[in-house]
A and B are shown apart, each in its own frame.
Chain A
């Protein structure tokens, strides 16, 4: 407020007799403060002077004059230093009130309440009007909650939000939060954010160290962040959004929003756990069937007739196919839950083919089909997860066997195509009507005709597409009904993506074989 400001509009509420006699004006504040301080000072000095005089009168009769003066001066100094503190505290009280008001506007953490500006003492002295003016202009300028009522509304809104909300100042001290925020209160009453970032690439602290002071504004989102380590009670899982803004008003530079996703994420995990458990149960009998077939074949090998060999082969092929189906289901579940993890590395097309060649040849032979492999020798290497790609190839060959005619031939070919290696599996079987071709790669989709005549779940093509697309390739089909189908998938040429692949020394130390691995101790010990 300046001297030129228009006359203050007297508030309607201040129309009482008292105010008519002594209308509140900020202009009254300083003269009143001065006169009040002077009065207190004046009275106090007289009391002190009286006390010192009494001491002098009492001591001058007992000691010499100089000793009495010395004692009196000492008493004067002691009393003045004590009374001085009290006097200053009293006279500076209005300044403290104004400071509290400003602390509130700045949003600095404080245990002191906002001064009551309706206190009659303040109104009389002009301090009330001064406080009102400061608070109101702060409210207009900063759009900040300035009254208790308005502040309460904001608090209520924050509490009603379905997310946790934490505000920190540049010193990382929590200056505001709501009750959904994962906050830990230590025995010494210190608050800290209770989030465990050990499973994420970088923590909130790491990120804040990077951005604080270095960037004007920045935001980061984390997913699947737990509040406590596993095996501890009240474990929750959150998505976390952190926002940093340099020199934000009221020191609120860091805002962290947490979204509790426990039900969604762990619901998903329960589902995935169920699939893992079901797979475990299915694999038990498969292990026994495959194992004892292996043992029987070893023990009876020489005594078996060729027909019995044929039967053993069929059992082997079926058991192995069953095992592949279980792997398909597990992969599909992982793919659905975005847990499908591929280990992409440099592999040759030959190594992919070799991985399954014997199995597929046996599979084809038991169903009276033949497979021809036409792979040029000079193909570049590709970036692929060997076991997953073998599953894709096995799925496609399996389909080709299923949907071709007795005695039919299946041709596997490979060629280079625009930075990719394309692998095709062609059969001369029943083919696919063009209307259904586009649905083929959906989960559980099987064409009307095949549903009645040929077994299967329809999951193989779904997961094959998932695996190929996770490699950055494409999968498609060309088919003529009654003439056969050609499924083609592409894999990126290793040289085109090598710089994007993560190389890990740890991976190099493991020899992988499908879902299994064996540690390469020779390499580890080098």
Chain B
């Protein structure tokens, strides 16, 4: 990825179906100066994510139309379709061992939303984009 990308200009796609949670992250990310798009639907999310125009994707797992782990699989295998995009899986769903291993192989971070405040989320976003 282009590590020289200015943090303020970095563009982020949030794929999150919970309105309150989505709004909360979008609000915090925009306040921190990021360009943010927000999609609710997993199918649309995959389409937008495939474009490769984002520096970072915040991806929920339990999504309508297409689950986040399926999106992750399609984006990262067999060839990495978006090598310049980091992906943070943010979920409240506790995965089983096999999906956990699959996520570890493909995502750049995995966060339990209930354990992370927006402030901590911003720190991690900054760390992952660094």
Contact = CB atoms under 8 A, between A and B. Distances in A.
B114 A290 contact: yes
A199 B92 contact: no
Given A294-B119, A295-B118, A279 B27 contact: no
A295 B28 contact: yes
A513 B88 CA distance: 14
Given A276-B93, A280-B94, A517 B110 contact: yes
Interface size class of B (residues with CB under 8 A): 20 to 34
B24 A283 contact: no
Given A287-B21, A295-B28, A517-B109, A510 B115 contact: no
A16 interface: no
Contacts of B117: 290-291, 294
Contact of A323 (B93, B108, B111, B115): B115
* Residue in B27, B97, B112 with the greatest tally of chain A CB atoms within 10 Å: B112
A199 B97 CA distance: 11
Contacts of A272: 96
Interface string A273-292: 00011011001101110111
Contacts of A291: 21, 24, 117-118
A283 B98 contact: no
A507 to B, nearest CB: 10
A199 B98 contact: yes
Given A298-B119, A323-B115, A516-B111, A288 B97 contact: no
B24 A516 contact: no
Interface in A471-516: 506, 510, 513-516
Contacts of B24: 287-288, 291-292, 295
B8 interface: no
A356 to B, nearest CB: 13
A76 interface: no
Nearest to A517: B110
B40 to A, nearest CB: 14
B92 A330 contact: no
Interface string B105-126: 0011111111111110000100
B8 to A, nearest CB: 19
A401 to B, nearest CB: 21
A291 B117 CA distance: 5
Nearest to A269: B96
A518 interface: yes
B118 A294 contact: yes
A189 interface: no
A326 B28 CA distance: 25
Given A284-B92, A339-B97, A518-B111, 6 more contacts: A272-B96, A284-B21, A288-B21, A288-B24, A294-B118, A516-B116
Interface of A: 199, 269, 272, 276-277, 279-280, 283-284, 286-288, 290-292, 294-295, 298, 323, 326, 330, 339, 341, 506, 510, 513-519, 521
Interface of B: 18, 20-21, 24, 27-28, 62, 91-94, 96-98, 104, 107-119, 124, 127-128
